[in-house]
Amino acid sequence: MVGFSNTTPVEDDLYREIVLEHYSHPRHRGELETASSRVDATNPLCGDELSLAWRVEGGRISGIAFSGRGCSISMASASMLCEALDGQDMATAADIAARFRSMLLDKGPSDGLGDLEALRGVAAYPVRIKCAVLAWNALLQELAGTAETEP
Amino acid sequence: MVGFSNTTPVEDDLYREIVLEHYSHPRHRGELETASSRVDATNPLCGDELSLAWRVEGGRISGIAFSGRGCSISMASASMLCEALDGQDMATAADIAARFRSMLLDKGPSDGLGDLEALRGVAAYPVRIKCAVLAWNALLQELAGTAETEP
Amino acid sequence: MIEPALAPLDVARIRADFPILERKINGAPLVYLDSAATTQKPNVVIDAIGNYYRTSNANVHRGVHSLGNEATDAFELGRRRVAQFIDADPAGLVFTRNTTEALNLVAASYAREMLQPGDRIVVTEMEHHSNLVPWQLASERAGLELAAIRLQDDGTLDMDDAERLLKPPTRLLSVTHQSNVLGTVNDLATLTRLAHAAGALVCVDAAQSVPHRPVSVRQLDCDFLAFSGHKMCGPMGIGVLWARPEPLNAMPPFQGGGSMILRVTLQHSSWNDVPHKFEAGTPDVASVVGLAAACDYIDNIGLTAICEHETRLTKRLLDVLTTIGDIDIHGPLDLTQRGGCVSFNVGNVHAHDVGTILDRTGIAVRAGHHCCQPLMQRLGVPATTRASTYLYTTPNEIDALGEGLAEVKRVFRV
Amino acid sequence: MIEPALAPLDVARIRADFPILERKINGAPLVYLDSAATTQKPNVVIDAIGNYYRTSNANVHRGVHSLGNEATDAFELGRRRVAQFIDADPAGLVFTRNTTEALNLVAASYAREMLQPGDRIVVTEMEHHSNLVPWQLASERAGLELAAIRLQDDGTLDMDDAERLLKPPTRLLSVTHQSNVLGTVNDLATLTRLAHAAGALVCVDAAQSVPHRPVSVRQLDCDFLAFSGHKMCGPMGIGVLWARPEPLNAMPPFQGGGSMILRVTLQHSSWNDVPHKFEAGTPDVASVVGLAAACDYIDNIGLTAICEHETRLTKRLLDVLTTIGDIDIHGPLDLTQRGGCVSFNVGNVHAHDVGTILDRTGIAVRAGHHCCQPLMQRLGVPATTRASTYLYTTPNEIDALGEGLAEVKRVFRV
Ligand SMILES: Cc1ncc(COP(=O)(O)O)c(C=O)c1O
Ligand SMILES: Cc1ncc(COP(=O)(O)O)c(C=O)c1O
């Protein structure tokens, strides 16, 4: 019946089921007591506020959590970020982040991004892109900072 | 030959002979040591600066002088002012000043204004009116001030 | 005696004056409900700016040539026209960029320079950042105290708290006439009486009142009043500070430069008369001409009629919001206490999500903190959605908003 | 290797872009020789403003709706376009009302707030009031010393005096790139080297240079640079302060209000990133759009070609003035040391009389102190007449000025 009957509403291009699901039941929400990295991000013009914390053990993210408040896109994106990066090694984490940003900012491919692909629709809403990348920018900034200070 | 031959130039409507004559040979220019009133006027946007001083004896102006620098209109007007008011009683002086202003600002009649009538042409040059009335405004302001403080 | 109701506005005719209202947004006709942020411009205003540049453009106050004279006349006529709009003496009317600059001028040249350490400035919990941050900057730098009158839960000021604060050492009350979030119209008569009795001056942020209802500085009896051209059909880049002559003459200059001086030497300068003393550099003559055209446009329609029109729309808007359900309306529900700007939250849907869903059908509302973060804290929300009306708003547009909000509830399953 | 001369400007075609040039003044075609005060506007700039209001007008940086997004894009694209015009990073480009406000911003937020009592600010004897009075205000309030580099009789700066003054405790040099009276183009390379060697920052008043010759802030190596849109075919009401990131990030805000904040509570606020930190309140988006259109317009013609055109006109102007006789020309006669703005006195005829007689045949020149009273004192004249050219000026207009000056001599029997 997909795309066929007009009694079944076509899925919303921005507010996909899976996005709303992450928004109403966020994964990894809370504090991470044993974090090795922690970063805050705000979007002063919207009032979105977000904290992201993770723990690196043996070159892998062995725990990750977020807290804060904001719109559905920024919160779902943070929830998906945690789910996608938990357990990944640092190189893979950085690669996923780069591909996610590219999907939104350059309309790049989304292969292998899993659930994150559900946020592709945000690319058509320029003012909301900064909501979707808020957590990711914070992560990448922290990774870049760490990379610089470590040899 | 007036207004008849085009070999004789028609007199300039603004720079009448008599105006230029007052400008190049100002009357009553200088200081008045025994002045009873003295007033300064400036036109900050043009840089015109003018001082006017007079002596009142028995209700009459018995001496008057101006100093300063400025354009031909402001200087000629000050020179004519001194000539017109020297020896007049205060009521007549105020009356002449009022009629002079009215000639320029409201295009009022110029009867009995003598040489001052030569400045009538200024009325057609809005930006120059303030040059022509500079000395007169200063005089009237001072007279108004005196009138208020004297019973 | 019952006041005869004014004839309703001929909104269809008015809308034809605003070319942007023909725009489509995401395929749907634009429904512009963001006039509290900035209003749209009628052709007469846009054309006045263009005509000025095409026929009379020159610098002002400096020349003897004809164009310079025409430009100066246009500028000073504009000043008189705008002064008349608020029933003021043009000698007290200073052109600024916007309300923000007007308030900063008072904060810098009056509060910072003329008040003494320990003196108190009073604002309210509902102020726009533009009527709060300038006082914070001045207070910090001049050792002043800053206090805010509390808000009641109904969105009006706590007048007991006002009475408590409007006592010595308060030297200045700066208060909004109409809140840009709650719509609340403050009781300026009482506030001004209290402030003046305490020996304090009164500064009114009229950004949201001058465009929407008749305002007379003589009747308000205030000392300073600030507003923006762009919120009243006029151009961006032009605003107004009106002030009574006593403070204005006593205040030192705000900025230094061309036009504001009397005599300048390398070491010292003296100042031109007000209002020129506060207008340094080349002014925006074109925008003054545009603002004067906006005053004409509004007065031709009539501020009282505009205000009645907005009251009718606000009533409908409040009804629609109530009917939809699950909507928290902030600010007074009593139409005599408010203007045509209504903030609300839909369930616990974030205002940005509301704004985005509405925008998909062409409806432009504001979503965010509206430059009122302290008020958001007071209301306990991160952001609100705000719909605001003006003379070109139709009842159908209010209904379209209602439909849009129903869609928000559907998407977010509220 | 000889640089190939550029093709001369097609001035007839350029003039067709400027509707005001069709005006008659006192029955004669307008001869506009007052571009140093403000330039005329081409249709593309006037239309850009109108189109913005007709299609995309909204407030910026605050909304999620499409119009708000379009307006924000237009505003930030404008910032990038204008930054490119002066070879600068857009993050250091702050929009102000005009040059005057830009210089006041540096005086208020840098000199007044960040310098220490006893520190010295250096200007020159040829500065416009806008590059003098702000420093006087800051110096008085912060206990700074203010000194001026002397002028030589040929209208250039005394570089020995510059060397004497550009030593500790000098912390800031603020100097005009091109004099609005003398036309002198100052040797910024040497001045900047001296100032930087002394640990002082350099602020350039580029009001008369950015419109007339290629200016690169990277090549100038300055720390601050100010100019006005209205002097470069752009709208009134918009100007620019560009600054290097180090001082800009360190400086406290200039004005408080919407858009310049990060977080606000009733008592304290923190600031947004530069350049937003220095842009309080609703900006003039329409004028930014107009200024970006002006940059496009000028770049399409080419600043180097414009500069060559003006040099040719200036040569003719100097020749005409010399031929007429009894005319004192102020400023350098060497065309490599000056731009297209020439001040002079005709015998001892007052400049206003010169201006009035010229205006009667449609010739618009400036007459007065040109907001440079200290320079007038230095030149020993109460006022001068100034003729200034731009890309739309023709050789015939220079000749018309010559005829007008002959008439001045006739009327005043010089
Ligand atoms: C109540 C109030 N005060 C001040 C302002 C600031 O106005 P502007 O941004 O035009 O300076 C606004 C609008 O943004 C406002 O609504
Ligand atoms: C050299 C110079 N500096 C500053 C200014 C002031 O410019 P504005 O009036 O646009 O602020 C001008 C022009 O008036 C100028 O020529």
Whether residue C159 lies within 8 A of chain B, CB to CB, comes out as: no
CB contacts, 8 Å: D137 with chain C: 252-253, 256
Answer yes or no: do D310 and D295 share one domain: no
The tokens describing D111, both together, are 């000199």
Looking at chain D, the whole-number percentage of residues with pLDDT higher than 90 is: 96
Answer yes or no: do C283 and C326 share one domain: no
Q: How far apart are CA C34 and CA C367, in angstroms?
A: 10
- Cross-strand bridge partners of residue B54: B37, B64
Q: How far apart are CA D179 and CA D157, in angstroms?
A: 11
CB contacts, 8 Å: C35 with chain D: none
Other Cβ atoms closer than 10 A to C249: 14
- Shortest CA distance from A9: residue in chain C: C411
Within a domain: residue D5? Answer: no
* Residue among B49, B94, B40, B92 at smallest CA distance from B70: B49
Looking at chain D, the whole-number percentage of residues with pLDDT higher than 70 is: 99
pLDDT at D227 over 70: yes
CA dihedral D397, D402, D407, D410 (to 10 degrees): 180
pLDDT at B151 over 50: no
Which of these three, C244, C275, C299, is where a domain ends? C299
Whether residue A42 lies within 8 A of chain D, CB to CB, comes out as: yes
Within a domain: residue D38? Answer: no
Ligand nearest to the CA of D234: 2
For C357, the enclosing helix (H) or strand (E) is helix C351-359
Contact call for residues D105 and D95 (beta carbons, < 8 A): no
In whole numbers, what is the pLDDT of chain A averaged over residues? 87
Mean pLDDT throughout D161-185? Answer: 98
Active-site position among C307, C341, C371, C372: C371
Residue A138 has, within 13 A of its CA and on its CB side, a CA count of 25
pLDDT at A21 over 60: yes
Answer yes or no: do C94 and C133 share one domain: yes
pLDDT at B42 (0 to 100): 85
Answer yes or no: do C15 and C164 share one domain: no
Contact call for residues C32 and C19 (beta carbons, < 8 A): no
Answer yes or no: do D272 and D354 share one domain: no
CB contacts, 8 Å: C269 with chain D: 129, 132-133, 136
Mean pLDDT by 10 residues, chain C (414 residues): 67 98 97 98 98 97 88 97 98 98 98 98 98 98 98 98 98 98 98 98 98 98 98 98 98 95 93 96 98 98 97 98 97 96 96 96 96 96 96 98 98 94
Contact call for residues C97 and C239 (beta carbons, < 8 A): yes
Answer yes or no: do D224 and D184 share one domain: yes
Find the domain containing C324 and state its range: 11-32+302-412
Q: Give the nearest partner residue to C62 out of B45, B126, B128, using CB atoms.
A: B45
pTM of the model: 0.95
pLDDT at A48 (0 to 100): 83
Residue nearest to atom 7 of ligand 2 (CA): D99
3-state secondary structure D140-161: HHHCCEEEEECECCCCCECHHH
Other Cβ atoms closer than 10 A to D348: 11
Answer yes or no: do D288 and D330 share one domain: no
Contact call for residues D345 and D396 (beta carbons, < 8 A): no
Within a domain: residue D58? Answer: yes
For residue range D235-283, list pLDDT tens digits in order: 999 999 999 999 999 999 999 999 899 889 999 999 999 999 999 999 9
Interior angle at CA D302, CA D335 and CA D233, nearest 5: 90
Answer yes or no: do C306 and C285 share one domain: no
How many domains does the structure of chain C reveal? 2
Q: How far apart are CA B16 and CA B125, in angstroms?
A: 14
Mean pLDDT throughout A123-140? Answer: 92
Contact B14 D356 (CB under 8 A): yes
* Residue among D327, D369, D338 at smallest CA distance from D352: D369
pLDDT at A55 (0 to 100): 96
- Shortest CA distance from B45: residue in chain C: C62
Q: Quick one: pLDDT band at residue B9, thresholds 50, 70, 90?
A: low
Contact C263 B42 (CB under 8 A): yes
Minimal C-alpha gap between C369 and chain D (Å)? 9
Is C222 catalytic? The answer is no
Answer yes or no: do D287 and D370 share one domain: no
pLDDT at D1 (0 to 100): 42
Give just the sign of the alpha carbon dihedral C360, C364, C365, C371: positive
Ligand nearest to the CA of D211: 2
The tokens describing C163, both together, are 């009475």
Tell me the fold of A12-149. Sufe protein. Chain: A (3.90.1010)
Answer yes or no: do D295 and D308 share one domain: no
In the B/C pair of chains, how many CB contacts fall below 8 A?
A: 15
End-to-end CA distance of chain C: 47
Q: Give the nearest partner residue to A72 out of C350, C376, C382, using CB atoms.
A: C350
Which of these three, D299, D332, D350, is where a domain ends? D299
Query: What Å distances lie between residue C138 and B19, C134, C135, D102, D379, CA to CA?
Result: 55, 6, 5, 20, 41
Q: Quick one: pLDDT band at residue D56, thresholds 50, 70, 90?
A: very high
A131-145, D148-162, D387-401, range with the lowest pLDDT:
A131-145
Three-state DSSP class for residue D31: strand
Helices (H), chain A: 17-24, 72-85, 90-105, 126-149
Q: What ipTM score was computed for the predicted complex, to two decimals?
A: 0.93
Ligand nearest to the CA of D371: 2
Answer yes or no: do D286 and D378 share one domain: no
For residue range A53-98, list pLDDT tens digits in order: 999 999 999 999 999 999 999 999 999 999 999 999 999 999 999 9
In whole numbers, what is the pLDDT of chain D averaged over residues? 96
Whether residue B42 lies within 8 A of chain C, CB to CB, comes out as: yes
Within a domain: residue C325? Answer: yes
CATH number at residue D323: 3.90.1150.10
Whether residue C271 lies within 8 A of chain A, CB to CB, comes out as: no
pLDDT at C4 (0 to 100): 52
Mean pLDDT throughout D137-148? Answer: 98
Within a domain: residue D259? Answer: yes
Q: Taking the domains of chain B in order of start, what are their residue ranges?
A: 12-149
C287 lines ligand 1 (CB under 6 A): no
Whether residue C24 lies within 8 A of chain D, CB to CB, comes out as: no
Answer yes or no: do D99 and D169 share one domain: yes
Q: Give the nearest partner residue to D69 out of A42, A44, A127, using CB atoms.
A: A127
Interface partners of A (3+ CB pairs, < 8 Å)? C, D
